[in-house]
C-alpha cells in the first residue's frame, strides 16, 4: 500500500552524508531540495527532512537515527550512507552491521526504507571495492527494501558533473541524483 496523494501528510527523512547535505553548492540546489520541490508540485503535504551531515559515517547515522525517528516519525527513510566509511577504510562488515541496524530501526518505527548504494574507487583495491559494493545488494535482498545500486551512476566519472575535488557532485549533477532517487521513491509513494 502506497502513501495517498492527499488526505493526510507524510514525512520523508533523508539520512546521508555530504552528497545529500549539498557540500560545496547552495543547499537549495541540492538533490534533496529538488526532491522537496518536486513533491510539493506532485503531492500534497509531503514534508522532507534532510538530516544529512557532511562527513557522516554509518556509525554516526546509526547513533543519530533513533532520535530522528522519534522526533520526525517518518513514513519513508532514505539512507545515503557508507561512502565515508569506504574512504576511511572502515571494514565493510562493520558498515553492513550499522546499515542493517538502521534499516531495522526504521522498519520497526513503521517507515519504509530506500537504500542508496555507493561504490569505491578502484585504487582502494578490487577486493575491498567488491566487498564494499556487495553490502548494499545483500542488505536490499535481506530486508526486501528498495535500493539504488550506485547513487552516483553517470555522475562520478563525468568531470563536468563533479566539483574540482573529484568527490562531490556539482550543482548541475543534482537533477541526475534526484532522477536516481525518484525512480524507486515514486513507487513507494503510490
Name the CATH topology of 10-184: Rossmann fold (3.40.50)
Closest to 58 in 3D by CA, of 76, 84, 19? 84
Strands (E), the chain: 10-16, 46-50, 76-80, 112-116, 146-148
**Residue-level pLDDT at 114:** 98
In the chain, where are the structural domains located?
10-184
43 pLDDT tier (thresholds 50, 70, 90):
low
Considering only 39-43, 101-105, 150-154, which range has the smallest mean pLDDT? 39-43
Q: What is the pTM of this model?
A: 0.94
> What is the mean pLDDT of the segment spanning 39-47?
84
State the distance between the two ends of the chain, measured CA to CA, in whole angstroms.
Answer: 8
Q: pLDDT exceeding 90 applies to what percent of the chain? A: 87
Over 70: is that where the pLDDT of 28 sits?
yes
What gap in Å lies between CA 94 and CA 114, rounded to an integer?
20
**Across-strand partners of 12?**
48, 76
Q: How confident is the model at residue 7 (pLDDT cuts 50, 70, 90)?
A: very low
User: Cβ contacts of residue 139 below 8 Å, gap of 6+?
Assistant: 96, 99, 100, 103, 115, 145, 147
Beta strands 146-148; 112-116: pairing state: parallel
**How far is it, in rounded angstroms, from Cα 45 to Cα 18?**
26
Question: What is the pLDDT at residue 136?
Answer: 98
pLDDT, mean over the chain: 93
Examine the pLDDT at 4 and tell me if it is beyond 50. Answer: no
Q: Which residues are marked as active site?
A: 18, 165, 168
Amino acid at each position: 500500500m502506497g502513501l495517498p496523494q492527499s488526505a493526510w501528510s507524510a514525512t520523508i527523512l533523508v539520512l546521508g552524508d555530504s552528497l545529500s547535505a549539498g557540500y560545496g553548492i547552495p543547499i537549495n540546489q541540492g538533490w534533496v531540495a529538488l526532491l522537496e520541490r518536486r513533491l510539493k508540485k506532485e503531492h500534497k503535504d509531503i514534508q522532507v527532512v534532510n538530516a544529512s551531515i557532511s562527513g557522516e559515517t554509518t556509525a554516526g547515522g546509526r547513533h543519530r537515527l533513533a532520535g530522528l525517528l522519534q522526533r520526525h516519525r517518518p513514513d519513508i527513510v532514505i539512507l545515503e550512507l557508507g561512502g565515508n566509511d569506504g574512504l576511511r577504510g572502515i571494514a565493510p562488515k562493520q558498515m553492513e552491521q550499522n546499515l542493517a541496524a538502521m534499516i531495522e530501526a526504521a522498519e520497526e518505527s513503521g517507515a519504509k526504507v530506500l537504500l542508496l548504494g555507493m561504490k569505491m574507487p578502484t585504487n582502494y583495491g578490487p577486493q575491498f571495492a567488491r566487498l564494499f559494493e556487495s553490502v548494499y545488494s545483500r542488505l536490499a535482498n535481506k530486508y526486501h527494501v528498495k535500493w539504488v545500486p550506485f547513487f552516483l551512476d553517470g555522475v562520478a566519472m563525468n568531470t563536468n558533473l563533479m566539483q574540482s575535488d573529484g568527490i562531490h557532485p556539482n550543482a548541475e549533477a543534482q537533477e541526475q541524483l534526484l532522477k536516481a532517487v525518484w525512480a524507486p521513491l515514486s513507487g513507494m509513494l503510490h
